[in-house]
């Protein structure tokens, strides 16, 4: 393979189409080669054809039959957790690197602002969930200063930005996000909640992060969170704090206090962070920050892996 590594996308819905537009418009390291879907009349496949991208409406089976697939190095999966399991089997046998935007979690979790340099040689990378991409950096920022005994996140997204794939993956969303809060964010225990907000006009993505800590240096925690927000903004400019970081001392009879492990400082504190994620509106409306942060994180991850491989091949 020569020049920029070529990529394909499975899934011609909102996420797949936005990702295609990002690759074509923004990426200096990757080249868009093909898009696969299952609806021949989808806007994603129609747009891909207009942009001279090879297409198929026969899913992964049609994708691997395309002439263009021979030079594809990375495949982004923007379908569903259930569908991804078979996609991974097919693509693993063909030695392709898969960047999974579903919550299937077959491969290691990657949140670019936290662990972008990890798992560079993995053949399947999981991008967790939109809620995870928005909130896990905050949990990790707190954990960098003091151990997080418990991390809870609430992701509120517009109903309009939740397509069939998102709605079909609600259970996987909560399970995968909670797991990644622990494995990537560093929390001893994690919990995730998603809210589909039906408000009109649609509201942009809002996220709340609660972290239980003890022996807290509030100035250091705030500084770490603000630094982490800047790191996320490097690839998601619409990511921002809605207000100052909040600290609440908990009494001994507060249920959360029971999660403080034996031997830890007894002065339990709940750290609360309120976020807003506005999308870049490359293809999706700006209120769909939940989808924009997923495609932006996936693109950044694939570009970093591609750069790593090119450097090692010299």
Instruction: List, for residues 295-305, the tens digit of each pLDDT value.
Output: 999 999 999 99
DSSP for 34-58 reads EEE-S-TT-HHHHHHHHTT-EEESS
Position 172 in a domain: yes
DSSP bridge pairs for 209: 153, 273
**β-strand pairing of 31-36 with 6-10:** parallel
Position 98 in a domain: yes
Catalytic residues: 130
User: Is 169 known to sit in a ligand binding site?
Assistant: yes
CATH code where residue 14 lies: 3.40.50.720
Position 41 in a domain: yes
Phi, psi of 214 (to 5 degrees): -145, 155
Q: Do 153 and 107 reside in the same domain of the chain?
A: no
Position 80 in a domain: yes
Question: Residue 163's pLDDT is what?
Answer: 78
Number of domains in the chain: 2
How many alpha carbons lie under 13 Å from residue 268 in its C-beta half-sphere?
20
Q: Do 137 and 95 reside in the same domain of the chain?
A: no
What is the residue-level pLDDT of the chain in tens, covering all 314 positions?
A: 448 999 999 999 999 999 999 999 999 999 999 999 999 999 999 999 999 999 999 999 999 999 999 999 999 999 999 999 999 999 999 999 999 999 999 999 999 999 999 999 999 999 999 999 999 999 999 999 999 999 999 999 999 998 777 888 889 999 999 999 999 999 999 999 999 999 999 999 999 999 999 989 999 999 999 999 999 999 999 999 999 999 999 988 888 888 888 888 889 999 999 999 999 999 999 999 999 999 999 999 999 999 999 888 77
Question: Residue 239's pLDDT is what?
Answer: 98
Q: Do 120 and 149 reside in the same domain of the chain?
A: no
Position 1 in a domain: no
> Could you count the other beta carbons within 10 Å of the beta carbon of residue 261?
9
User: Is 13 known to sit in a ligand binding site?
Assistant: yes
Over the stretch 100-134, which tens digit does the pLDDT of each residue have? 999 999 999 999 999 999 999 999 999 999 999 99
Q: Do 159 and 234 reside in the same domain of the chain?
A: yes
d(CA 239, CA 237): 6
Burial 215-237, CB ≥16 within 10 A → b, else e: ebeeeebbebbeebbebbeebbe
Q: Do 138 and 188 reside in the same domain of the chain?
A: yes
Q: Residue 125 is encoded by which pair of tokens? A: 């990378």
DSSP class of 257: G
Position 214 in a domain: yes
Which domain covers residue 74, as residue numbers? 6-127+292-312
User: Is 156 known to sit in a ligand binding site?
Assistant: no
User: Is 163 known to sit in a ligand binding site?
Assistant: yes
Nearest to 123 by CA among 174, 82, 87: 87
Q: Do 142 and 278 reside in the same domain of the chain?
A: yes
Q: Do 300 and 263 reside in the same domain of the chain?
A: no
Q: Do 149 and 280 reside in the same domain of the chain?
A: yes
290 burial via Cβ count (<10 Å: 0-12, 13-18, 19+): buried
Q: Do 140 and 219 reside in the same domain of the chain?
A: yes
Nearest to 22 by CA among 236, 228, 282, 313: 282
Question: Residue 248's pLDDT is what?
Answer: 97
Question: Residue 167's pLDDT is what?
Answer: 85
Question: Residue 293's pLDDT is what?
Answer: 98
Strand ranges across the sheet with 6-10: 54-56, 31-36, 6-10, 72-77, 97-100, 124-126
User: Is 166 known to sit in a ligand binding site?
Assistant: yes
User: Is 12 known to sit in a ligand binding site?
Assistant: yes
Write down the residue that tokens 């770490």 correspond to: 224
Q: Do 278 and 142 reside in the same domain of the chain?
A: yes
Position 177 in a domain: yes
Preceding omega of 151 cis (within 30 degrees of 0): no
DSSP bridge pairs for 152: 191, 210
d(CA 103, CA 126): 7
User: Is 162 known to sit in a ligand binding site?
Assistant: yes
Q: Do 135 and 276 reside in the same domain of the chain?
A: yes
| Total-model pTM | 0.95
DSSP H or E segment with residue 7:
strand 6-10
Nearest to 225 by CA among 297, 285, 138, 143: 138
Q: Residue 201 is encoded by which pair of tokens? A: 């006009």
User: Is 168 known to sit in a ligand binding site?
Assistant: yes
Dihedral, CA atoms, 235, 236, 241, 242, nearest 10 degrees? 170
58 burial via Cβ count (<10 Å: 0-12, 13-18, 19+): middle
d(CA 260, CA 101): 34
Q: Do 11 and 35 reside in the same domain of the chain?
A: yes
CATH code where residue 193 lies: 3.30.360.10
């Amino acid at each position: 393979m020569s020049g920029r590594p070529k990529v394909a996308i499975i899934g011609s819905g909102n996420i797949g189409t936005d990702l295609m537009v990002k690759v074509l418009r923004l990426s200096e390291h990757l080249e868009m080669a093909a898009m696969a879907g299952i609806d021949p009349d989808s806007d994603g496949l129609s747009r891909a054809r207009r942009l001279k991208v090879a297409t198929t409406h026969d899913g992964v089976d049609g994708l691997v039959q395309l002439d263009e697939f021979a030079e594809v190095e990375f495949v982004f999966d923007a379908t569903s957790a259930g569908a991804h399991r078979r996609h991974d089997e097919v693509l693993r046998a063909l030695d392709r690197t898969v960047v999974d935007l579903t919550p299937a979690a077959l491969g290691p979790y990657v949140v670019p602002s936290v662990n972008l340099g990890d798992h560079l040689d993995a053949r399947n990378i999981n991008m967790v969930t939109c809620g995870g991409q928005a909130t896990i950096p905050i949990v990790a920022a707190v954990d960098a200063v003091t151990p997080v005994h418990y991390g809870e996140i609430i992701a509120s997204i517009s109903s309009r930005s939740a397509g069939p794939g998102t709605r079909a993956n609600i259970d996987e969303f909560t399970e995968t996000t909670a797991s990644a809060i622990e494995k990537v964010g560093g929390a001893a225990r994690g919990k995730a909640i998603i809210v589909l907000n039906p408000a009109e006009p649609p509201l942009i993505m809002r996220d709340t992060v609660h972290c239980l800590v003890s022996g807290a240096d509030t100035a250091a925690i705030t500084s770490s969170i603000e630094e982490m927000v800047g790191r996320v903004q490097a690839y998601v400019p619409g990511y921002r704090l809605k207000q100052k970081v909040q600290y609440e001392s908990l009494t001994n009879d507060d249920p959360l206090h029971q999660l403080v492990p034996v031997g830890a400082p007894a002065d339990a504190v709940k750290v609360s962070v309120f976020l807003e994620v506005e999308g870049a509106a490359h293809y999706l409306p700006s209120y769909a920050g939940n989808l924009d942060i997923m495609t932006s994180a996936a693109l950044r991850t694939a570009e970093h892996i591609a750069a790593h491989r090119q450097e090692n091949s010299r």
